Structure 1
Amino acid sequence: MKKATKRPYKISKTPPPGWPTEDQWKEIDKKLEKKPASKALPSDAGPVERTKHELCAQFIKYRRQEDINQRELAQRLGVTDSRVSEILHYHHGRFTIDKLLELLAKIRPEVKIRVA
């Protein structure tokens, strides 16, 4: 017979104040399972990948500042919704730095790029 190991922590039946309930977590999981996952930047990423990643982050900042959805952003950029999804989730493999800069200039004409 296996001996039960004691956990070094307690599992609460109720979430702390302000945290989602179990039902809310289930609803969040349900919504997220249909969405594409954002791609993480690998620790060994080269300068091109890092630059693309930074450019994609600018689109996310813009979208939040303007409080617009993905479809509205696609309309402003003049591209399809699926292309914007790729940008917003850091799936930038099909984009060149030039293309990302061209798109970014449509929504942020004052953008300046600095090479460090």
Structure 2
Amino acid sequence: MIPTDVAALSGGGDLQSQISDVRREIRHLQEAVLSHAVIDQAIGVVITVGGLRPDQGVDVLTAVSRRTGIGVGAVAEYLVDWVVTERLPDGLRTALDAALAETRAVLAENAPPVTCPVAAR
């Protein structure tokens, strides 16, 4: 009879432990990919609302995180949800407005202002 159990094939728990480790690593990688996707989407929200370039969107997102003390991933989730719910916590909205104003001030000093019809909302 051919053993079909992984532990029986390996002669012990070492292979089973390795499989568990690989599965755990796969879960972590899946979570990281999802987290990066949400952050990328939030950057898209910021650059659309602010009429910014992608690199400036990253700066605004991290500035909002610093101003609020909320992690970048959580801020990203709030911003992505905001598109659907049209609701953003007051402190987050205040931090976003301040970070956008700061970025726009730098833009005004260095280049012609960028306008975006969505930002007028």
Q: TM-score scaled by structure 2?
A: 0.31
Q: Which has the higher helix share?
A: 2
Q: TM-score scaled by structure 1?
A: 0.32
Bigger Rg, which one? 2
